């Protein structure tokens, strides 16, 4: 199946942005507002910084299948894997075409998928929760041409969801001593999920075929039903899991999941309610960057330069102050200080203080957003994120909304009829490839007539189309690589889109 791929113009030029009109009983339609900026250069307070915008160009690819809660990974051959609630998809021609095969959809059934590409071995993991009893963990070592897999018994009910998997280095101090357990796979494979009791995390010694070591993480992880974000590992072997709790926090292990510690931060900006996952990235020197949505609905960061032992207690604002609402932040890092963050955000500040869908006044919470609020996809780069005064370069990637109106952030508390605004589910994803090129996976809720009309309403914005943006021309997150060049020849791309 051929999927159209569009080359974006240089995004440092202003693009139209969705605005809003006032209204009483009927939510006003979204209209185009040319006065709202699409690019920003800001400092650690979200205010303008005196620095030139880094020029970047992005490519868009329509995956062609539903894509809520997407995971994205890229093998060294350049194959992209997009795994979400519908069909796991693969593109080996930089997004020009996407395919699904029966081998990729290898689980007997799925109610909550997740994907991961091991950046060391190229093993592709395709994971599916099967009802409430078990999870199917599949893997491929040849870009998805063939697969192996096993069910993982998750124990007595109830098992909820939030299955996550990642890989990372073995810690020599634990497994490199005589008499210790000997791994038979180059990387430790971590598998976490939540039950009502909290977060359960396991470590595999055989590449994900079995998980015999681990269990319930006791402590902070046992609160809020064990909801959590993605697993992240550092080059020094530290593994991180961010719990979804009221005070921004991190759980980490320095012994490949044998024991876990916890740290808190971000009390100066807090978190909203309902809240979504926070996320962590680590760079090539094992510095860690924890990001989350603050109580004022900005995107914030705390940094650790000692492998998670201590964290800044004064938070850094990543998103511009003009973005007054955000959700689904995701982050990845390359060399020290070089990070990229994506999130859904809104600049519809005129809606603040209006009656929201819960009978109160809207404060920027996406869960209660009014019908004249629209959300777009943003990406923020920093090449000096470890500096005392880092600079952030932000682009709005979409020129039509990803969602019009509210985004349900709590599956048991959706605030529109039938919970139809739950269409995007819980998260998006961002990862880099071996060259430090940024790839973003997201579900687009506003497609077709919703995207082209100036009168779109929340009821028009209930799609969940799998979509990808990736950096075509711009900065690598690895310092020794010059600016990245496009992966697709312009003439080839024009032939595909004509």
Render 34-101 in DSSP notation, one character per residue: TTS-SEEEE-TBSSB-SSPPPP-EEEEEEEEEE-SS-EEEE-TT--EEEE-SS--EEESSTTSB-B--
Q: What is the mean pLDDT of the chain?
A: 87
**Distance separating alpha carbons of residues 39 and 14, to the nearest angstrom:** 7
Question: What is the band of 359 on the pLDDT scale with cuts at 50, 70, 90?
Answer: confident
Q: Indicate left, alpha or beta for 424 from its phi (over 0: left) and psi (-120 to 50: alpha).
A: alpha
- For 5-497, the fitting CATH number among 3.20.20.60, 3.40.50.300, 3.40.50.20, 2.120.10.10 is 2.120.10.10
**Distance separating alpha carbons of residues 216 and 252, to the nearest angstrom:** 14
Residue-wise pLDDT tens digits, 161-220? 788 999 999 997 666 554 556 788 999 999 998 887 789 999 999 999 998 789 888 887
Question: Mean pLDDT lowest for which of 50-59, 99-108, 482-491?
Answer: 99-108
Examine the pLDDT at 1 and tell me if it is beyond 70.
no
Q: Are 405 and 362 in contact (CB under 8 A)?
A: no
**Distance separating alpha carbons of residues 130 and 151, to the nearest angstrom:** 9
Q: What pLDDT score was predicted for residue 15? A: 34
- φ/ψ (deg, to 5) at 444: -100, 120
Average of pLDDT values for 325-342?
Answer: 98
Q: What pLDDT score was predicted for residue 4? A: 31
pTM for the structure as a whole: 0.91
Q: What pLDDT score was predicted for residue 358? A: 84
Q: What pLDDT score was predicted for residue 411? A: 80
| % the chain with pLDDT above 90 | 68
Q: Rounded to whole angstroms, what are the CA distances from 135 to 111, 118, 164, 303, 437?
A: 10, 19, 11, 33, 31
Q: Are 181 and 212 in contact (CB under 8 A)?
A: no
Give the β-pairing of 124-130 and 134-140: antiparallel
Examine the pLDDT at 430 and tell me if it is beyond 60.
yes
Question: Mean pLDDT lowest for which of 223-232, 376-385, 442-451?
Answer: 223-232
Q: Are 473 and 484 in contact (CB under 8 A)?
A: yes
Examine the pLDDT at 158 and tell me if it is beyond 80.
no
Question: What is the band of 121 on the pLDDT scale with cuts at 50, 70, 90?
Answer: very high
């Amino acid at each position: 199946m051929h999927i159209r791929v569009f080359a974006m113009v240089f995004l440092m030029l202003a693009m139209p942005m969705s605005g809003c009109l006032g209204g009483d009983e009927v939510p006003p339609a979204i209209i185009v507002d040319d006065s709202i900026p699409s690019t920003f250069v800001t400092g650690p307070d979200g205010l303008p910084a005196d620095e030139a915008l880094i020029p970047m160009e992005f490519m868009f690819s329509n995956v062609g299948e539903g894509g809520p809660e997407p995971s994205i990974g890229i093998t060294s051959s350049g194959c992209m894997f997009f795994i979400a609630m519908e069909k796991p998809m693969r593109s080996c021609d930089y997004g020009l075409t996407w395919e699904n095969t029966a081998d990729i959809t290898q689980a007997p059934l799925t109610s909550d998928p997740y994907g991961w590409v091991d950046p060391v071995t190229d093993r592709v993991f395709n994971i599916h929760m099967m009802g409430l009893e078990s999870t199917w963990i599949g893997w491929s070592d040849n870009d998805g041409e063939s697969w192996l897999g096993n069910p993982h018994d998750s124990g007595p009910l109830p098992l909820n969801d939030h299955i996550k998997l990642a890989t990372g280095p073995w810690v020599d101090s634990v497994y490199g001593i005589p008499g210790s357990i000997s791994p038979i796979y180059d990387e430790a494979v971590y598998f976490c999920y939540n039950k009502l009791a909290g977060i359960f995390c396991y470590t595999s010694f055989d590449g994900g075929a079995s998980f015999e070591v681990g269990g319930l993480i006791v402590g902070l992880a046992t609160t809020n039903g064990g909801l959590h974000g993605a697993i992240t590992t550092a080059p020094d072997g530290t593994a991180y899991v961010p719990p979804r709790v009221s005070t921004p926090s991190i759980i980490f292990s320095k012994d490949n999941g044998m024991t876990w510690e916890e740290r808190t931060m971000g009390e100066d900006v807090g978190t909203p309610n309902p809240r979504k996952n926070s996320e962590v990235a680590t760079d090539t020197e094992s510095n860690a960057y924890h990001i989350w949505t603050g109580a004022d609905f900005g995107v914030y960061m705390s940094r650790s330069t000692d492998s998670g032992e201590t964290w800044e207690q004064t938070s850094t604002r990543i998103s511009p102050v003009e973005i007054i609402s955000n959700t689904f932040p995701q982050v990845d890092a390359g060399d020290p200080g070089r990070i990229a963050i994506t999130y859904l955000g809104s600049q519809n500040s005129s809606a603040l203080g209006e009656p929201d869908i819960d009978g109160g006044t809207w404060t920027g919470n996406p869960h209660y957003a009014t019908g004249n609020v629209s959300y777009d996809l943003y990406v923020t780069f920093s090449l000096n994120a470890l500096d005392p005064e880092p600079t952030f370069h932000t682009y709005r990637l979409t020129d039509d909304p990803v969602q019009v109106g509210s985004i349900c952030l709590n599956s048991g508390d959706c605030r529109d009829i039938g919970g139809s605004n739950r269409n995007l589910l819980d998260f998006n994803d961002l990862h880099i490839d071996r060259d430090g090129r940024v790839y973003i996976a997201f579900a687009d809720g506003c497609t077709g007539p919703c995207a082209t009309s100036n009168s779109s309403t929340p009821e028009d914005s209930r799609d969940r189309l799998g979509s990808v943006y990736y950096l075509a021309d711009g900065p690598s997150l690895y310092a020794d690589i010059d600016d990245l060049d496009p992966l697709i020849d312009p003439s080839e791309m024009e032939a595909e889109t004509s």
